[in-house]
Amino acid sequence: MYYDLLARIKNATMAKKEKMTVPFSKMDAAVLKALVENGYIKSADAEIIGKESVIVVRLAYKNKAGSVSDFKIVSKPSRRFYFDYRSLRPVKQGYGVAVLSTSKGIMTNKEARKQKIGGEYLFEIW
């Protein structure tokens, strides 16, 4: 799930890694696409290594510091949170991004407000 993906990204940026690999899943690929569009990572490409499909993630850095400083999981399997597009607010006064699972796919809070779509509030990243 994306919980593990976010922890791996944070740990790899703290260790100053250039790239990392994670097992492929459609959910992780969609989350990584949203993170690439917002500049939290450079790129995420699916590859087949041996018999396994993996995603190679190239990490982004700003002034020698990782672009991902922290994240907060909001929706969990035990407690789901759903928000209407009117209820979506900026994260960390606009310095962070929230990621939602909507009927039109995984998107950020800014995109969801533009398209007037609500959904399950997955996590915040800054």
HSE of 125 in the Cβ direction (CA atoms, 13 Å)? 26
Contacts of 76 (CB under 8 A, 6+ apart): none
CATH of 71-125, one of 1.10.132.50, 3.40.228.10, 3.30.1490.10, 3.40.50.10470: 3.30.1490.10
Beta carbons of 31 and 19 less than 8 angstroms apart: no
Q: Say what the pTM is.
A: 0.94
pLDDT tens readout for residues 80-122:
999 999 999 999 999 999 999 999 999 999 999 999 999 999 9
Distance CA(107)–CA(8), nearest Å, equals 20
pLDDT tens readout for residues 8-35:
999 999 999 999 999 999 999 999 999 9
